[in-house]
Chain A
Amino acid sequence: MKVKMISRNPDNYVRETKLQHHKVPRNYDPALHPMEGPREYVRALNATKLDRVFAKPFVCNLSGHRDGVACFGKHPKLLSTLATGAYDGEVRIWDLANRISLRSFVAHDGFVRGIAYARNGQRFFTVGDDKTIKVWNAEAPDVGEEEEPVNTILSRHILHGISHNRKDNSFATCGEVCAIWDEQHNDPIKTLKWGVDTLHTISYNPVETNVLACCASDRSIILYDQREAQPLRKVVLTMKSNKLAWNPMEAFNFTVANEDCNLYSFDTRKLQTPLKVHFDHVSAVTDVDYAPTGKEFVSASYDKTMRIYHAHQSHSRDIYHTKRMQHVVCVAWSLDNRYIFSGSDEMNVRMWKANASEKLGVIRPRERTNFNYQEALKEKYAAHPQIKRIARHRQVPRHVMNAQRKMRMVKDKELVKEANVRKHSKKGKVPFVNEKQKHVLREDI
């Protein structure tokens, strides 16, 4: 008789001393793990709930400005540095890691309209309402020394914004005209003009670095090439665009923040119809900034909230707001893709997590594995109604909710009216117009 029975040697299964971990033998045979589907579903549900439980996006508040915050400048090399400009002409440089203001000085009379760092991060440029461009050292002056600009350039025109080229030493300002400057010269290399309107905002393309885009007060978005003498193209929307941001990864796309509560993503090759209309804000959108991955962007709005959108989706994935935050004027996504900064009318700069439920601090490998697993589960079961409902639900301020309801009613009413008109008119006389096409008036070349 040959006989063998299961007889486990405790040495292989029980730890020897208390200092060791318990031994956990695994057997991945599916027969030993029944009801895989339902158990995964419950785990996904729990992960989604935990995600909402831990969704505390607000990190800190940087106070110090004595007037509303007007603009941001992101340092291209240092993640912990942020420059902010205020309505009273004050510029502050923040150390974000320690949450303190390193420097503060009054740079301009009146508003600071724009801040841009040079591409190596050693200088930064500010423009203000006093028609000057000032160049500052990124290093703080020695103790006892005054804050002095390295260079002050007087401009002939009013200045509204500044943007620095990502690859060479030129920068561009906008105002009455779009002017291209060189860092070494006190006169613009080139001025570009199309019509007489004011240009609010300017932005260099981060990849095709000769291309610029401006938003003008005649509701148009103008594309320039700094090598050419004439502007390239222009698209006119139904309302004014406030800010423009290029997608850093798909640099042929850009998104504008519009006065009509929407954001529009455009493809430069096809400006007649926007790629996507991003809804959900209930008041004018004031600023937009892309994540460095180019997959998401954040928008600030006059309705006292910020929203985060997937670049290819028309509704926001998240909304950030606090009781005390007033009209959000400017917003920036940090270059490590983890934080969002917002500057608002009530003089505060706020720091938020880009992913609301992300855990800050050191994450051990096992924890990281678990987070990854939960992410995968959430994605796998995202379409289930219960999970979808929990993941989508957001508590919004009452004024936003009321405004949303009102906007929905207006929209419904218009739909009904259009349907009625269509019903009582000749066939084909009232055409169906795509929502995307409603907002673009024309394209000029």
Chain B
Amino acid sequence: MTKTAPKGRKKPTGRYFDAAITVKTEDGEANPSKPKRRHQKSFTGDFLRMQSQDKNKALHKNKRPNVTEKPKKQKIPQEVLDKYSRGDAVDSSGVKTRHFKEKQKRKEIYLDYATEQAARTELLLQETPGKLEADEGEITAEYRQSEIAANVDLQSAAKHFSLKLDFGPYTMRYTKNGRHLLLGGRRGHVAAFDWITKKLHCEFNVMETVADVQWLHVPTMYAVAQKEWVYFYDKKGTELHCVKRLTRVNRMDFLPYHFLLAAGNSAGYASWLDVSIGELVGNFNTGLGDIRHMRHNPANGVLCIGGGKGVVSMWSPKVREPLAKLLCHPTAMTALTVDPKGEHLVTAGLDRLVKVWDLRQLNDKPLAIFNLRLPANEVEVSQRGMLALSQGTYLETYTDVLTSGGTGRRNKLPYLRQRCDAFVHGMRFCPYEDVLGISTANGFQSLLVPGCGEPNYDALEDNPLETSQQRREHEVHALLEKIPPELITLDPHEITGVDAPTLQEKVDAKRQLFHLKPPRINMNPRHKMKGRGGSAKAARNKQIVKDLKRKEFISEVRKAKKDIIASHAGDGDNAQQTSGEKFIKPKVVRSVLDRFKPKPQKKQKPTK
């Protein structure tokens, strides 16, 4: 029923309402006729075929082509869901009322949905992790760095470089986003540079020994532990601060979410300096002697300090005793590290073993043991769980911290090997890159280790490609979210849980009941009119009230004590005593000569 233009006249151009005109087809279905372009109108063959196909479909299935139908959602594999899951659902069987039970159930649905949505975003990740596969008859360990560099793209090949530096054994640090590198030579050389573009920020000699270097929360500031004190410098090398409260520091570490610079010094003091307010939030003697090995656990911010006796102790700035201690080696320790997820602790000792411990369980059984020919002097774990360990000048990496191997075991071969020209003093995996940085006695080397780094960064957490404006914004946000040092505990999720008293606290509360003192009662007698009561009477009344309250208190406490004793009568040694009384005593046969026996000792009063 479309209008046809009169002959000799141009057909009017299509208007928007033309689309609304419907055409009745044979099968009685109304199809909206779409205005077509000129080239489509003249074009017949293929287009018609398409339309007829459509019609056939409609005839066969008797179903309109549904445009609005939602695309079917892909099912997410369980292991991906597990990765994003925050744990099992809350057991609502203990919830008393139906209302709150329902509420909890509804909440769980939301949480499941959130997990699912997070898991779905995995589709959007742009990069895949690096990898290195050996050809047939070859193993990955026999590839040299030059070979790897020759086989990768130019951008990656440029990440393999080495620096020859003269100022003695070096320590090194990457920034949290892996973009910048800081080198500190024992003989005073400090250099900061963007290692990807190889752009030097600053380089100078502090004319003092440099024990350790550490970036702060932004790549424009860093701390250098020098001979006596810790100094802060900015990117240009300007001295910002000299922190004289941190003396003779050996090792430094930075807790980015707490803004704490942790330092361990040669007298055994562990100190935490809040760099946002410049205050020492914790500073005490650990009693461990010279602190040589110190790393923080990225998952909870606890400082792990390895001692000379093979014990790793974990410290929080507000608790003066270690939160936990772990005997790792029978000999002195040579290195320790915590993996970036905070799950594993890797320790190396003079007993030529490298052990991997579970930090969440904290039991005395290592998850894996690496046997070495020489003691490892540095260990390091990458973001994707690759283990690197150095023994003097020799260095190897393993693909998984939990598959134990080592040079002592021939069956388990390393992923990559490298022999350096000098003794390795510092070693770090670069975050978000497939690079292992090594600082040696005479310089720095950047090695390519395909597959060690996390390929997809989260720009709101760490952004290797951040602009200065983004950096400033991030700094402000990070400062607003600074976690107070009191929240550094072994379990970081403690704050989200229910504050239920532990068994120890319950026991303590009960025990305290046995040492209660009656409170002092201060009573002001009411002022009475003249003649109604003298001071003597008032004093007597006061005494009466006091006595009464005291008696009341004592009786209450006694009752409470009785209850406690009654509740514990069923278990422990009390049970043994009560059951012991049930035995029938053997009859004692007395004789006249008993009086010559030594008298039994008087029973001592049981002490509380």
Q: Which residue numbers of A lie inside 8 Å of B, CB to CB?
A: 1-8, 10, 12-14, 22-43, 46, 384
Assess whether A35 is in contact with B301, with CB atoms less than 8 Å apart: yes
Assess whether A10 is in contact with B448, with CB atoms less than 8 Å apart: no
Residues of B within 8 A of A3 (CB): 130-133, 148, 151-152, 450
- Measured CA separation A33–B84 after assembly (Å): 11
Residues of A within 8 A of B125 (CB): 27
- Measured CA separation A7–B143 after assembly (Å): 20
Set B83, B453, B459: member contacting A6, Cβ < 8 A: B453
Q: A26-B458, A42-B481 are in contact. List 6 more A-B contacts (CB 8 A).
A: A3-B133, A5-B130, A7-B156, A26-B460, A27-B121, A32-B458
Residues of B within 8 A of A30 (CB): 83-84, 86
Residues of A within 8 A of B340 (CB): 31
Assess whether A37 is in contact with B131, with CB atoms less than 8 Å apart: no
Residue among A30, A35, A40 with max Cβ neighbours from chain B (10 Å): A35
Chain B binding site: helix, strand, loop or mixed by DSSP? loop
- Measured CA separation A132–B344 after assembly (Å): 85
Residues of A within 8 A of B458 (CB): 25-29, 32-33
Residues of B within 8 A of A22 (CB): 467, 470
Residues of B within 8 A of A32 (CB): 454, 457-458, 461-462
Given A1-B132, A24-B459, A39-B481, the answer on whether A10 and B151 have CB atoms closer than 8 Å is no
Residues of B within 8 A of A6 (CB): 127, 129-130, 156, 432-434, 453, 455
Assess whether B480 is in contact with A46, with CB atoms less than 8 Å apart: yes
Residue among A4, A24, A38 with max Cβ neighbours from chain B (10 Å): A38
Assess whether B342 is in contact with A5, with CB atoms less than 8 Å apart: no
Set A7, A10, A35: member contacting B299, Cβ < 8 A: A35
Residue among A13, A27, A33, A40 with max Cβ neighbours from chain B (10 Å): A27
Given A1-B133, A26-B458, the answer on whether A38 and B84 have CB atoms closer than 8 Å is no
Least CB separation from B156: chain A residue = A5
Set A12, A38, A43: member contacting B487, Cβ < 8 A: A38
- Measured CA separation A34–B301 after assembly (Å): 10
Question: Which residues of B424-465 are within 8 A (CB) of A?
Answer: 432-434, 448, 450, 453-463, 465
Q: Does B46 contact A (CB under 8 A)?
A: no
Assess whether B133 is in contact with A2, with CB atoms less than 8 Å apart: yes
Assess whether B483 is in contact with A38, with CB atoms less than 8 Å apart: yes
The distance from the CB of A71 to the nearest CB of chain B, in whole angstroms, is 38
0/1 interface trace, chain B 254-293, chain A, CB 8 Å (1 if under): 0001000000000000000000000000000000000000
- Measured CA separation A46–B461 after assembly (Å): 19
Set B129, B450, B456, B492: member contacting A25, Cβ < 8 A: B456
Assess whether B460 is in contact with A38, with CB atoms less than 8 Å apart: no
Residues of A within 8 A of B257 (CB): 34-35, 38-39
- Measured CA separation A3–B433 after assembly (Å): 14
Least CB separation from B114: chain A residue = A28
- Measured CA separation A379–B244 after assembly (Å): 44
Set B126, B130, B159, B463: member contacting A4, Cβ < 8 A: B130
Assess whether B484 is in contact with A42, with CB atoms less than 8 Å apart: yes
Assess whether B492 is in contact with A37, with CB atoms less than 8 Å apart: yes
0/1 interface trace, chain B 485-499, chain A, CB 8 Å (1 if under): 001000011111000
- Measured CA separation A186–B143 after assembly (Å): 105
The distance from the CB of A89 to the nearest CB of chain B, in whole angstroms, is 50
The distance from the CB of B66 to the nearest CB of chain A, in whole angstroms, is 30
The distance from the CB of A419 to the nearest CB of chain B, in whole angstroms, is 13
The distance from the CB of B176 to the nearest CB of chain A, in whole angstroms, is 11
The distance from the CB of B507 to the nearest CB of chain A, in whole angstroms, is 24
Least CB separation from B86: chain A residue = A30
Assess whether A28 is in contact with B455, with CB atoms less than 8 Å apart: no
- Measured CA separation A37–B148 after assembly (Å): 42
Given A2-B131, A30-B83, A34-B298, the answer on whether A43 and B481 have CB atoms closer than 8 Å is yes
Least CB separation from B135: chain A residue = A1
- Measured CA separation A28–B456 after assembly (Å): 10
Q: Does B91 contact A (CB under 8 A)?
A: no
- Measured CA separation A401–B493 after assembly (Å): 39
Given A1-B135, A6-B434, the answer on whether A38 and B492 have CB atoms closer than 8 Å is yes
Residues of B within 8 A of A8 (CB): 127, 465
Given A7-B155, A35-B257, the answer on whether A41 and B495 have CB atoms closer than 8 Å is yes
Residues of B within 8 A of A40 (CB): 496
The distance from the CB of A20 to the nearest CB of chain B, in whole angstroms, is 13
Residues of B within 8 A of A25 (CB): 126, 456-459
- Measured CA separation A26–B131 after assembly (Å): 22
Assess whether A27 is in contact with B457, with CB atoms less than 8 Å apart: yes
The distance from the CB of B336 to the nearest CB of chain A, in whole angstroms, is 19
Assess whether A2 is in contact with B132, with CB atoms less than 8 Å apart: yes
Q: Does B134 contact A (CB under 8 A)?
A: yes
Given A30-B86, A35-B301, the answer on whether A5 and B133 have CB atoms closer than 8 Å is no
Least CB separation from A41: chain B residue = B495
Residues of A within 8 A of B121 (CB): 26-28
12 sampled A-B residue pairs with Cβ under 8 A = A1-B134, A3-B450, A4-B130, A6-B432, A7-B152, A25-B126, A26-B458, A27-B458, A35-B301, A37-B496, A42-B483, A46-B481
Q: Does B118 contact A (CB under 8 A)?
A: yes
Residues of A within 8 A of B480 (CB): 42, 46
- Measured CA separation A36–B465 after assembly (Å): 24
Assess whether B493 is in contact with A37, with CB atoms less than 8 Å apart: yes
